[in-house]
Amino acid sequence: MNISLEQAEAIIDAAKLKAAELDTKMNICVVDTGANIVAFARMDGAWLGSADIAQKKAKTAVWFTMDTAALSPLVQPGEPLFNIEHSNGGLITFPGGVVIKNSGGDMIGAIGVSGSTVDNDHEVAAAGAASL
């Protein structure tokens, strides 16, 4: 029930295609259900600072079994999870981390994407996850 490297690489390829389609340069990371890195790619010219963000988005999605976009409203000032980012060595709670599910609907990992607007990041991550 854990993502394979072959699946992870296919997902990254699909994400790269979507990134190119959007004319963006992305850092893309896939982690397994233990939030451990399986595969990673930084497209030429993509922001260096987004490598860590892509990894943290993917891990955050697995840690809480939800897309990071679902966390964003909950971490604002006054909201229940304000400043949860201080846990686990650093979370990223804005869009771009997406849960990867198999055909049975079970989570088998997550993808994190960073390098453009959060809307683009999420779109590329979702395209990767949906390609499975």
Contacting residues toward its own copies, per CB under 8 A? 4-6, 8-9, 32-44, 47-53, 56, 59-60, 62-65, 72, 75-78, 80-95, 117-118
Cα 16 off chain centre by? 13
Instruction: Answer for the pair 107, 62: CB distance below 8 angstroms, yes or no.
Output: yes
Measured from the CB atom, the residue of 50 and 127 that comes closer to its own copies is: 50
Closest CA to 18 of 54, 43, 39: 43
Measured from the CB atom, the residue of 1 and 130 that comes closer to its own copies is: 1
Closest CB 77 distance from its own copies, rounded Å = 5
Determine the Cα–Cα distance for residues 35 and 44; give it in Å rounded to an integer.
Answer: 25
Instruction: Answer for the pair 84, 75: CB distance below 8 angstroms, yes or no.
Output: yes
Measured from the CB atom, the residue of 115 and 127 that comes closer to its own copies is: 115
Closest CB 130 distance from its own copies, rounded Å = 22
